[in-house]
Amino acid sequence: MELKYGIGKGMNRFSTAAVLEEPISPPVQINYTKLLINGQFVDSASGKTFPTLDPRTGEVIAHVAEGDAEDINRAVSAARKAFDEGPWPKMSAYERSRIMLRFADLIEKNIEELAQLETWDNGKPYEQALTSELPIFVRLFHYYAGWADKIHGLTVPADGPHHVQVLHEPIGVAGQIIPWNFPLLMFAWKVGPALACGNTIVLKSAEQTPLTALYAAKLFHEAGLPDGVLNIVSGFGPTAGAALASHMDVDKLAFTGSTETGKIVLELAARSNLKPVTLELGGKSPFIICEDADIDKAVEQAHFALFFNQGQCCCAGSRTFVHERIYDEFIEKATARAMKRTVGDPFKKGIEQGPQIDSEQFEKVLRYIKSGIDSNASLQCGGERVGSKGYFIQPTVFSDVKDDMLIATDEIFGPVQTILKFKEIDEVIKRANATRYGLAAGVFTRNIDTANTLSRGLKAGTVWINCYDVFDAAIPFGGYKMSGIGREKGVYSLNNYLQVKAVVSPLNNPAWLERAKTHTISKDMDDTKVIHIISGGPLTEARLGKENPVAKLKKSEPQAWDPELLNEPTTLMEVDLLQEEYCLEEPQEEDSDARKLKEEPKLEAVEQIKLVVLDPTDKTKTIRLGTELESDVE
């Protein structure tokens, strides 16, 4: 491919020998290239395929079935049937856990083949895939297998005599769309929690890297996963991805990718059945190096934060802020470290950086490098492609970068380090937050107070202090602002795949609750309205309304009081008291004449009746007995 954006400076500083050698042929066989639907590998409905390319050379690795809307329909139907009728959601959580653990064991047995496929299809260093990413993959499934039988609801107290359960139930059919930069890890981040919760899945892999998801899914079925629980559709975003996002029978959607595509996914989900969406999107993460930092360690951490995975990392520390007092020294050492970075065939031992994923990303990175030069940022090293074949780019370092330059505002997603200068902590917090993104941030300092100030001031979902890219299975990951919605990994990811249901049922005189006070309103033969107390404490009197005379009560069997001076009610209607407050007070002696009813208390038609209960044992106590009661008696 012809070099479009050559700049000359520093080109011969990087060794290209590793790239110019004949690429190493991995020994792994390509066995799975069809769609996985309902436990079977099948051709796409259209019969179409597309090539997946080796980013080292741009040559075809294999042709893979190209799924589209019809294939998404088939996969969703299989997942729906597996959820509604199949054993997965209904089997014990312990058995689900055992299947997930067996799957993790099979991954470990096939770890070399999976790492080879990941490197071949993606271009990342084989040592990185084998010794870092695949062990994390296994750990993630151990983690979520451990959660499977620990997902439970709650029993919550209610104010009245009711038993309240809060159930956590699987959400149903989950649609998942994963990116190309970490195909296996993103598979684990999404599939693990969804299956632990008892859901079924339709997963669309990235068109650039479809091979490892198919291989892993095959191992899952070997572990005992029922048919239809995990379906894999390879294909393109505008066809298969859009069909999945807008499908009316998908209950939940999870997407990892660019912010611009995330907006489209969210809109499609909203326009269809308003399915909930989890988004893990782009970033332009600051890495702040304070004046008290150990410069050598800071240089290495900042280098790792940016160049890891060819710079193709959503949380890459792509804005390196360095305090002005150490800025020049840092630039010198950061440039030297970048020039020592080994670039070449990712299957070769000792290689730190492989190719970019494809020609589109390759050209995009070179355009941003040209933009940095045109904006008068100082190119310290790099800026060129490496070799004449494949998508390799020299590690590139810019200094004298300003906040408004495109290389400082846009997500480059490549091996381009931009280094900015700052003076004060408050200043750098403001500048670091002046972005639409908020995925991650790094802080390098020896001062705990400075670390606390920065970590609380930075608007980012993850802040790494004196480290970077620590991805433990239990650590939640997600962004502020336009870097996403929701969290992945850790216990928080389970919430993405659970419905919350409240179940309320009455309790009949439970021994451990105060018995509820109830009363009845009735009308006797003379149209006299009376109150009938059914249960309660040492109550002696009741009054109908504020203006009505007091009626003395006497206890009758088994647990009731009848108005002494009123006729027995002929018809009773029981009403529970729930919320209204009533005051208990001792009746005064001077009110004794008022208690003598000269005639039966006739009540006028009212919309509401309030019951006030007088208790001679407590002059001040106020208790909550019930709501105002609407009267249906005239």
Residues 6 or more apart whose CB falls under 8 angstroms from that of 498 comprise: 151, 168, 169, 170, 171, 197
What is the predicted pLDDT for the residue at 5? 34
Are 530 and 538 within 8 A, CB to CB? no
Please determine, for residue 608, whether its predicted confidence score (pLDDT) is greater than 50.
Answer: no
Tell me how far apart the alpha carbons of residues 150 and 166 are, in angstroms, rounded to a whole number.
15
pLDDT in tens, 239-296: 999 999 999 999 999 999 999 999 999 999 999 999 999 999 999 999 999 999 999 9
Tell me how far apart the alpha carbons of residues 347 and 119 are, in angstroms, rounded to a whole number.
7
What is the predicted pLDDT for the residue at 510? 80
Share of the chain above pLDDT 70, in %: 78
Pull the structure tokens for residue 255.
């997407």
Tell me how far apart the alpha carbons of residues 261 and 264 are, in angstroms, rounded to a whole number.
5
pLDDT in tens, 409-428: 999 999 999 999 999 999 99
Pull the structure tokens for residue 242.
């859009």
What is the predicted pLDDT for the residue at 514? 65
What is the predicted pLDDT for the residue at 52? 98
What length is written for the chain?
A: 634
Helices 111-122 and 134-148 pack at an angle, to 10 degrees, of 120
Tell me how far apart the alpha carbons of residues 494 and 192 are, in angstroms, rounded to a whole number.
9
Please determine, for residue 8, whether its predicted confidence score (pLDDT) is greater than 90.
Answer: no
Question: Which residue type, as a one-letter code, is found at position 611?
Answer: L
Higher-confidence position of 605 and 355:
355
Distance of CA 615 to the CA centre of its chain: 55
Task: Output the CA torsion 317→319→322→324 (10° steps).
Answer: 180
Tell me how far apart the alpha carbons of residues 519 and 538 are, in angstroms, rounded to a whole number.
15
User: Residue 20's pLDDT band (boundaries 50, 70, 90)?
Assistant: low
Eight-state DSSP code of residue 129 = I
Mean pLDDT value across residues 489-512: 93
Please determine, for residue 53, whether its predicted confidence score (pLDDT) is greater than 90.
Answer: yes
Tell me how far apart the alpha carbons of residues 30 and 235 are, in angstroms, rounded to a whole number.
18
CATH of the domain spanning 55-281+493-502, picked from 3.40.470.10, 3.40.605.10, 1.20.20.10, 3.40.50.261:
3.40.605.10
Catalytic residues: 280
Tell me how far apart the alpha carbons of residues 560 and 554 are, in angstroms, rounded to a whole number.
8
Cis bond leading into 51, ω under 30°? no
Tell me how far apart the alpha carbons of residues 403 and 431 are, in angstroms, rounded to a whole number.
8
User: Residue 134's pLDDT band (boundaries 50, 70, 90)?
Assistant: very high
What is the predicted pLDDT for the residue at 583? 33
Tell me how far apart the alpha carbons of residues 32 and 15 are, in angstroms, rounded to a whole number.
37
Residue limits of CATH 3.40.605.10 in the chain: 55-281+493-502
DSSP assignment of 383-452 equals -SB-SSSSS-B--EEEES--TTSHHHHS---SSEEEEEEE--HHHHHHHHH-SS--SEEEEE-S-HHHHH
Burial 592-609 (b: 16+ CB within 10 A, else e): eeeeeeeebbebeeeeeb
Residue limits of CATH 3.40.309.10 in the chain: 286-472
Q: What is the mean pLDDT of the chain?
A: 84
pLDDT in tens, 552-603: 333 333 333 344 433 333 232 333 332 233 333 334 454 545 444 444 443 3
For the beta sheet containing 529-533, the strands, ordered from the edge strand earlier in sequence to the opposite edge, are 573-576, 518-523, 529-533, 560-563, 550-556, 541-544, 611-614
Pull the structure tokens for residue 261.
């595509």
Residue 503 pairs in a beta bridge with 165
Eight-state DSSP code of residue 355 = -
What is the predicted pLDDT for the residue at 511? 79
CATH 3.40.309.10, domain 286-472, yes or no: yes
pLDDT in tens, 359-392: 999 999 999 999 999 999 999 999 999 999 999 9
Distances (CA, A) of 59 to 53, 115, 308, 389: 5, 19, 24, 10
Tell me how far apart the alpha carbons of residues 252 and 606 are, in angstroms, rounded to a whole number.
52
